Structure formats: C-alpha cells, structure tokens
C-alpha cells in the first residue's frame, strides 16, 4: 500500500530517548511533540525527523490487520526519513525526499526500490538508492551540503543554533558591561 501521510503506529517503532541520547534524537510531532525519540532495534534506516502522523488514530492500521492482505505500507510525507520497521506483520516504510527541489536539511534525495516475489508473497524486500550514488546532484543543496551526510547536516544545524546563542549572550554581556561603566 502507498499513501502520503504515515499512520500513528509508526511511533511504536520508536522509543523515548534517554537524556544522553537527545543530541541524536528527533522531536515528535503533534501529540508526541513534547518528547524526543530514537529508533527501536526493529527499525532500520534513517530517522531524521519525528513521523508526522495524524493527531488522532482513526484505526486505519487496525483495519489493515483485520483484512490480513496488507503486507507493507509506504509513506512519503516526511522528507527526512527513510526507515522501515515491521509491526504486527506489516512493514511500515518511510520514503525520503525523491525530488531535487524539495525542502531539505541537507538530506540525500533518494528512491526506495520495493521488490515483490510472487513465489514468496509474505516477503517484501526494500532498498534505498541515493541519487548521489548514481552520480546525480540536487540543485537545492549548496556545495557543502551536497557532500555531507544527513546526521552531519543536522549536527551542523544544531551547532549553528548553539553558536548563535553563545554569541548573543556574549553580546548582551559586553553591552551590559559598557552600560555599567
């Protein structure tokens, strides 16, 4: 099955991050937005942002389980995620940005190859193919961002916020010192 918005059950592939894991964790969206998450062992691939699932669970995943014929569901809403995980016999997969002009934090545009074998109907094989591995380049990334990994990009993003905060505090301290004299 292919659809744009992921189901809320994707959060069952994650666990709440411990305090020391926060630098590599992602913040959840909507009702999960007050917590940070990392992947559980059964999830494979890259978690670049909290799944942007609906606020309310309307029972879509439960209906898939009842029909018994849904083997996998793949979503495209979250531009930074390219993970898969199996939950109650159904593969849940995120597909990262596949275009060259989409918003990005430096993520590697890619596609997901999904292979089905009629002689093994219960097995689904997936593989992420990054465009850079094919020699293709994204026009929405600058010369540095084209060459770094997703995690390096996110760490640079956080480092810029921290550096900006430190410089702001230093400027306020300097101004206060001048005013006091």
pLDDT in tens, 117-148: 889 888 889 988 877 777 776 666 667 666 77
Give mean pLDDT, residues 55-81: 90
**DSSP letters along the chain, please?**
-EESSPPGGGGGGEEEPPGGGGGG-EE--GGGTTSEEEE-TTEES---S-----SS--SHHHHHHHH----EEEE---TT---EEEETTEEEEE----SSSS--SS---EEEEEEE-TTSTT-EEEEEEEGGGGT---TTS-TTGGGS-HHHHHHHHHHHHHHHHHHHHHHHHHHHHHHH-
Q: If pLDDT is split at 50, 70 and 90, which confidence band does 63 have?
A: very high
Domains of the chain, residue spans: 2-147
Q: What is the pLDDT of residue 152?
A: 73
What percentage of residues in the chain have a pLDDT greater than 70?
Answer: 85
Contact call for residues 5 and 51 (beta carbons, < 8 A): no
Q: What is the pLDDT of residue 84?
A: 94
Give mean pLDDT, residues 21-38: 89
Say what the pTM is: 0.75
Give mean pLDDT, residues 43-48: 88
């Amino acid at each position: 099955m292919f659809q744009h918005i992921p189901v809320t059950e994707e959060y069952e592939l994650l666990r709440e991050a411990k305090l020391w894991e926060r630098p590599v964790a992602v913040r959840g969206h909507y009702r999960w937005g007050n917590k940070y998450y990392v992947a559980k062992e059964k999830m494979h691939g890259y978690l670049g942002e909290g799944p942007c699932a609906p606020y309310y669970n309307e029972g879509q995943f439960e209906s898939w389980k009842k029909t018994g014929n849904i083997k996998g569901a793949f979503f495209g809403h979250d531009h930074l995620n390219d993970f898969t995980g199996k939950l109650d016999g159904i593969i849940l997969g995120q597909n990262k940005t596949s275009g060259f002009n989409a918003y990005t934090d430096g993520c590697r545009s890619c596609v997901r190859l999904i292979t089905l074998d009629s002689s093994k109907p219960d097995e689904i094989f997936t593989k992420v193919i990054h465009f850079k591995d094919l020699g293709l380049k994204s026009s929405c990334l600058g010369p540095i961002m084209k060459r770094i990994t997703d995690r390096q990009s996110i760490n640079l993003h956080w480092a810029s916020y921290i550096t900006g905060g430190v410089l702001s505090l230093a400027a306020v301290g300097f101004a206060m010192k001048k005013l006091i004299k």
